[in-house]
Structure 1
Amino acid sequence: MPEIGEVARIVHYIHKHLVGRTIKTCEAFADDIVYGKVGCSSDAFQKHVTGRRITGAAQQGKYFYITFDKSPHAVLHLGMTGWMKFDAEETGYYRNPKAKEEEWPPKYAKFLLKCEKETVKGEAREAVQSAFVDARRLARIRLVDCEADNIRNETPLKENGPDPVRDKEIVTVEWLSDLLNRKRVPVKALLLDQGNVSGVGNWVCDEVMYQARLHPEQYSNTFSKAQTKQLYDALIEVCTIAVETRSDSSQFPETWLMKYRWDKGKKDSNVLPNGEKIVHLKVGGRTSAIVPSVQKKTGAVAGDVDEDGETKVAKGRKRKSKAADEEDEEDEEDPEEKPVVKKGRAAKRAKATPVDEGEEEDVMAKNKRGKKALKVEDQADGGAEGDDELVKPVAKTGKGKKVTPKKAEKPATPGSRRSTRTKS
Structure 2
Amino acid sequence: MPELAEIHRIVHFIRQHLVGKTLSKVSTQHDDIIYGKVGTSAAEFQKAMEGKKVTGAGQQGKYFWITMSSPPHAVMHFGMAGWLKIRDADTYYYRTDKPEDKQWPPKYWKFLLETDGDPKTEAAFVDFRRLARIRLVDCPADEIRKHTPLKENGPDPVVDTDVVTEEWLGGKLKSKKVPVKALLLDQAVISGIGNWMGDEILYHAKIHPEQYSNTLTDDQIKELHSSLHYICSTSTEVLADSDQFPEHWLFKHRWSKGKKNKASVLPNGEAITFLTVGGRTSAVVPSVQKKTGPVAGDVKEEDESSNERETKRKRTAIKKEATSTKKADSKKQSKQTVKVEEDEDAGKDKTTTQTKRRSTRLRK
Please state how far the C-alpha of 1:254 moved relative to its aligned partner. Answer: 1.1
Q: Highest CA radius of gyration, 1 or 2?
A: 1
| CA distance in structure 1 between the partners assigned to 2:98 and 2:240 by the alignment | 22
Say if 1:256 and 1:102 are closer, same or farther in 2 by CA, change over 3 A.
same
* More moved, 90-99 vs 257-266: 90-99
| CA distance in structure 2 between the partners assigned to 1:136 and 1:265 by the alignment | 25
In the alignment, what sits opposite 1:17?
17
Say if 1:39 and 1:105 are closer, same or farther in 2 by CA, change over 3 A.
same
| CA distance in structure 2 between the partners assigned to 1:51 and 1:129 by the alignment | 14
The 8 Å contact of residues 216 and 283 in structure 1, kept in 2 or not, is answered as no
| CA distance in structure 2 between the partners assigned to 1:86 and 1:305 by the alignment | 42
Please state how far the C-alpha of 1:97 moved relative to its aligned partner. Answer: 3.5
Tell me which of 259, 264, 274 is aligned to 1:270.
264
* 3-state SS of 1:261 partner: helix
Q: 5 Å matches for 1:259-408?
A: 259-266=252-259, 267-303=261-297
1:151 maps to a residue whose letter is I
The 8 Å contact of residues 114 and 129 in structure 1, kept in 2 or not, is answered as yes
Report whether the alignment pairs 1:165 with 2:169.
no
Long gaps (5+) in structure 2 = 304-364
In the alignment, what sits opposite 2:333?
none
Counting matched residue pairs gives: 302
Q: 5 Å matches for 1:21-420?
A: 21-97=21-97, 99-100=99-100, 102-117=102-117, 126-266=119-259, 267-303=261-297
The 8 Å contact of residues 188 and 283 in structure 1, kept in 2 or not, is answered as no
The 8 Å contact of residues 38 and 135 in structure 2, kept in 1 or not, is answered as yes
1:92 maps to a residue whose letter is Y
Say if 1:142 and 1:100 are closer, same or farther in 2 by CA, change over 3 A.
closer
In the alignment, what sits opposite 2:321?
none
Please state how far the C-alpha of 1:24 moved relative to its aligned partner. Answer: 0.2
Please state how far the C-alpha of 1:131 moved relative to its aligned partner. Answer: 0.5
Long gaps (5+) in structure 1 = 119-125, 312-424
| CA distance in structure 1 between the partners assigned to 2:298 and 2:95 by the alignment | 39
Please state how far the C-alpha of 1:103 moved relative to its aligned partner. Answer: 1.4
Say if 1:138 and 1:101 are closer, same or farther in 2 by CA, change over 3 A.
closer
* 3-state SS of 2:44 partner: helix
| CA distance in structure 2 between the partners assigned to 1:304 and 1:23 by the alignment | 51
* 3-state SS of 2:256 partner: coil
TM-score with structure 2 setting the length: 0.81
The 8 Å contact of residues 253 and 265 in structure 2, kept in 1 or not, is answered as yes
* 3-state SS of 2:255 partner: coil
User: Percent identity at matched positions?
Assistant: 59
| CA distance in structure 2 between the partners assigned to 1:19 and 1:53 by the alignment | 8
| CA distance in structure 1 between the partners assigned to 2:135 and 2:299 by the alignment | 42
Aligned residues: CA RMSD: 1.4
Say if 1:103 and 1:208 are closer, same or farther in 2 by CA, change over 3 A.
same
Please state how far the C-alpha of 1:88 moved relative to its aligned partner. Answer: 2.6
* 3-state SS of 2:96 partner: coil
* 3-state SS of 1:229 partner: helix
| CA distance in structure 2 between the partners assigned to 1:252 and 1:52 by the alignment | 38
2:128 maps to a residue whose letter is A
Deviations 1:61-98 (A, max 9, x none): 00000000100110000011111111132311121245
| CA distance in structure 2 between the partners assigned to 1:234 and 1:99 by the alignment | 40
Which one has more relative contact order, counting CA pairs under 8 Å at least 6 apart?
2
* 3-state SS of 1:179 partner: helix
| CA distance in structure 1 between the partners assigned to 2:8 and 2:245 by the alignment | 15
Please state how far the C-alpha of 1:283 moved relative to its aligned partner. Answer: 2.6
TM-score with structure 1 setting the length: 0.69
Please state how far the C-alpha of 1:21 moved relative to its aligned partner. Answer: 0.2
Say if 1:304 and 1:149 are closer, same or farther in 2 by CA, change over 3 A.
closer
Please state how far the C-alpha of 1:303 moved relative to its aligned partner. Answer: 1.9
Please state how far the C-alpha of 1:152 moved relative to its aligned partner. Answer: 0.5
Say if 1:130 and 1:310 are closer, same or farther in 2 by CA, change over 3 A.
closer
| CA distance in structure 1 between the partners assigned to 2:228 and 2:268 by the alignment | 24
| CA distance in structure 2 between the partners assigned to 1:31 and 1:111 by the alignment | 10
| CA distance in structure 2 between the partners assigned to 1:153 and 1:219 by the alignment | 31
* 3-state SS of 1:260 partner: helix
* 3-state SS of 1:240 partner: helix
| CA distance in structure 1 between the partners assigned to 2:98 and 2:31 by the alignment | 31
Please state how far the C-alpha of 1:284 moved relative to its aligned partner. Answer: 3.3
| CA distance in structure 2 between the partners assigned to 1:176 and 1:285 by the alignment | 25
1:288 maps to a residue whose letter is S
1:66 maps to a residue whose letter is I
4+ residue runs of structure 1 moved beyond 3 angstroms?
97-101
| CA distance in structure 2 between the partners assigned to 1:280 and 1:33 by the alignment | 34
